[in-house]
Amino acid sequence: MMAKDGQIPPVFGDLRIQPKPPAGVRYERDGPLLRVVGEYRGCISGPRDVGVRGAELDRLIARQRDYFAGRGEAVEWKTRAHDEPADLTARLRAAGFVPEEQQTVLIGLTAELAATPVLPDGVVLRWVTADADMRRIAAMESAVWGQDWGWLGENLIGRVAAALDDIAVLAAEADGEVVFAAWLVFFQPEADGFARLLGGSTLPGWRGRGIYRALVAARAQRAAARGARYLQVDASDESAPILRRLGFRAVTTTTAYVWTPPQPGSQG
């Protein structure tokens, strides 16, 4: 049975489980927190309730900020609407963390979402593993966002090399050009039963033509073949309505709070 809106199925735990890290990336523990080091920016996650309050929580937050400051790197602290204590986000702001756009956490039943993808004429899907394909995906993402996303290609290459069974990368192509890409991440045995949908950017000229829905269906098929009962995604305001129409349910929201090192010559 699928959970109602606002209810998280027990299999998901705290929704913060991490897949096996690629080469050059490591996981570190600091009390209740998991610290991901070695990616394009650091990442902090923790249980629903970090278990500390007041000044002790402030020290925990400052320790993460200062750790990545020492590396000269930005860091994001992934929060969810149901986190405790309630003043966590206020304390992150006070420590210099800035919120990014809120996303909706959605969960769907794989069996209900797995379907034959329906694609527009001229578009083909390919499951890819080659380094060159990952770099083509990164180039597409760079074009979509107007920023250098070369780090993503190297990250995907590393993840495929570290644990090919943990990730499945799908590209939609037209006339040999990547027009959309997304991937599917499976989790370690303690999280068996679900997979996470990631990616999902589309070149502007190909939006509104059903490619996003097609790649959800294709990844659901792949997840079903692996025995994953649920699919989970952190969705933007643009994607969430599409996913809800497909049958996903909202269980909470998530916001990344990001601390960025001061630029040379700046103050603060």
For residue 189, what pLDDT is reported?
47
Contact call for residues 167 and 186 (beta carbons, < 8 A): yes
pLDDT score for 246: 96
Cis peptide before 241 (omega within 30 of 0): no
- Residue 233's nearest CA partner among 149, 113, 117, 142 is 113
| Local confidence pLDDT in tens for the 268 residues of the chain | 455 555 666 555 555 667 778 888 999 999 999 999 999 999 999 888 999 999 999 999 999 999 999 999 999 999 999 899 999 999 999 999 999 999 999 999 999 999 999 999 999 999 999 999 999 999 999 999 999 999 999 999 999 999 999 999 999 999 999 999 999 998 754 455 789 999 999 999 999 999 999 999 999 999 999 988 899 999 999 999 999 999 999 999 999 999 999 987 655 4
pLDDT at 190: 47
pLDDT for residue 23: 84
Write down the pLDDT at residue 14: 52
What is the per-residue pLDDT for 11? 52
Please state the domain extents for the chain: 10-103+255-259, 108-253
**Architecture, CATH, for domain 108-253:** 3-Layer(aba) Sandwich (3.40)
Tell me the DSSP string of 75-126: EEEEEETT-BSTTHHHHHHHTT-EE---EEEEEEEHHHH-------TTEEEE
Query: Quick one: residue 42, left, alpha or beta (phi over 0 = left, psi -120 to 50 = alpha)?
Result: beta
CATH topology classification for 10-103+255-259: Aminopeptidase (3.40.630)
CATH topology match: 10-103+255-259 vs 108-253: yes
